[in-house]
């Protein structure tokens, strides 16, 4: 039975990965420090939701720990065949206001994981959860076309942003810098030390068990705010567009690499040009699905926000024989049903 470690396995993507591979027959170990409470700035029951869900299975090893703890990481990586490194500080705005934890978690934590893999006699496959933010403000230099409810890339980038897109001479935010640093380290450890690695530069990932907040997880946050009547703010004009990808489609891409014969690669991973949403379009979808239409407030654009980001997914399609399956319409339906089912977790307590 192959052994697989998921760092950040108590989080949204990590918990889905742990569940998927346990169901496939892997022996799964999860490490997580439940740091979502730090993002929210307070204790929160939702931080335990995915952790408790995995614990209830009984077939997944759960370790409360931090990827910044070098000794711990060396121990938990020493006997595994695959590492999915999903542990991260994930909020752009948090990285701007408090950059040190972002740096230590995303860069030092990634270095610890790579060193653990390098020193391990089992030479595990390493899958790194990177981000489209590695391209930074350069994405906003691509020409765009403004339409009634959305922006679109000019024709030259109609297929989306490729993996070869420039990362230099632009603002990234500390979050983008730390994730890019980890991204490059993963690539170098493949070339220097012969580790088998994949970097997935992910676009907007959404799905069930995502406790979205204003700073992170915008599709889930819009659904939660719509269903519970919470205040909703749009930063910018709402026409900004992202390609959206259902979480189970993400994990299938990880699995496709693990099962492939590729030594190492870098992939942009998202819904691609066919699976995109603007903020305004998402509001329309949610109104249609829920019968409720939020009236958002508007505020200034946030630092390095990209008016359009769409992944060019031709490489991951061709090299891994993978494609997204869950359309935005179907995905939003599933997400709304899940939020409705767990609505009490999102309601503000009565005063």
User: Catalytic residue positions?
Assistant: 175
**319 CB burial (10 A radius; 0-12, 13-18, 19+):** middle
CB proximity list for 91: less than 8 A, separation 6 or greater: 39, 175, 213, 215, 216
Element of type H or E holding 64: strand 60-64
Pair 161, 152: CB distance under 8 Å: no
Distance of alpha carbon 194 from alpha carbon 266, whole angstroms: 15
Pair 270, 139: CB distance under 8 Å: no
E-strand spans in 187-284?
Answer: 197-202, 204-206, 233-235, 241-246, 264-269, 276-278
DSSP structure string for 10-59: TSHHHHHHHHHHHHTT-EEEEEE--THHHHHTS--GGGGHHHHHHHHHSS
Q: Rounded to an integer, what is the distance from CA 207 to the centroid of its chain?
A: 11
Q: What is the Rg, in whole angstroms, of the alpha carbon atoms belonging to the chain?
A: 19
Length of the chain as a residue count: 351
Q: Which of 107, 64, 77 is nearest to 89 (CA)?
A: 107
Pair 80, 3: CB distance under 8 Å: yes
* Neighbour count for residue 215 (Cβ, 10 Å): 17
Distance of alpha carbon 22 from alpha carbon 10, whole angstroms: 14
DSSP structure string for 185-215: HHHHHHHHH---EEEEEE-EEE-TT---BTT
Pair 15, 9: CB distance under 8 Å: yes
């Amino acid at each position: 039975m192959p052994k697989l470690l998921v760092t950040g396995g108590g989080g949204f993507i990590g918990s889905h990965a742990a569940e998927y591979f346990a169901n496939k027959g892997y022996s799964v170990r999860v490490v997580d420090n439940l740091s979502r409470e730090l993002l929210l700035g307070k204790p929160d029951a939702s931080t335990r939701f995915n952790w408790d869900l995995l614990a209830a299975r009984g077939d997944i090893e759960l370790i409360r720990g931090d990827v910044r703890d070098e000794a711990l990481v060396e121990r938990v990586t020493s006997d595994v065949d695959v590492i999915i490194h999903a542990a991260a500080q994930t909020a752009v705005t948090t990285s701007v206001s408090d950059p040190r934890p972002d740096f230590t978690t995303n860069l030092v934590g990634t270095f610890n994981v790579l060193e653990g893999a390098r020193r391990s006699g089992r030479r595990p496959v390493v899958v790194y959860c990177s981000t489209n933010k590695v391209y930074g403000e350069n994405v906003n230099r691509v020409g765009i076309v403004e339409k009634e409810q959305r922006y679109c890339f000019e024709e030259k980038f109609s297929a989306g942003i490729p993996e070869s897109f420039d990362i230099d001479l632009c603002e990234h935010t500390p979050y983008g810098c730390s994730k890019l640093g980890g991204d490059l380290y993963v690539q170098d450890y493949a070339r220097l030390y012969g580790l088998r690695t994949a970097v997935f530069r992910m676009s907007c990932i959404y799905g069930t068990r995502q406790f979205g907040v204003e700073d992170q997880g915008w599709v889930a946050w819009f659904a939660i705010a719509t269903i519970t009547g919470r205040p909703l703010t749009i930063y910018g004009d709402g026409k900004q567009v992202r390609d959206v990808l259902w979480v189970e489609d993400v994990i299938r891409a990880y699995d496709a690499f693990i099962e492939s014969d590729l030594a190492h690669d870098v992939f942009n991973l998202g819904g691609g040009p066919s699976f995109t949403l603007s903020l305004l379009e998402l509001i329309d979808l949610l109104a249609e699905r829920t019968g409720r239409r939020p009236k958002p407030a508007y505020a200034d654009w946030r630092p390095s926000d990209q008016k359009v980001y769409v992944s060019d997914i031709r490489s991951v399609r061709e090299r891994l024989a993978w494609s997204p399956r869950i359309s935005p319409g179907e995905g939003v339906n599933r997400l709304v049903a899940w939020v409705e089912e767990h609505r009490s977790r999102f309601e503000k307590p009565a005063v």
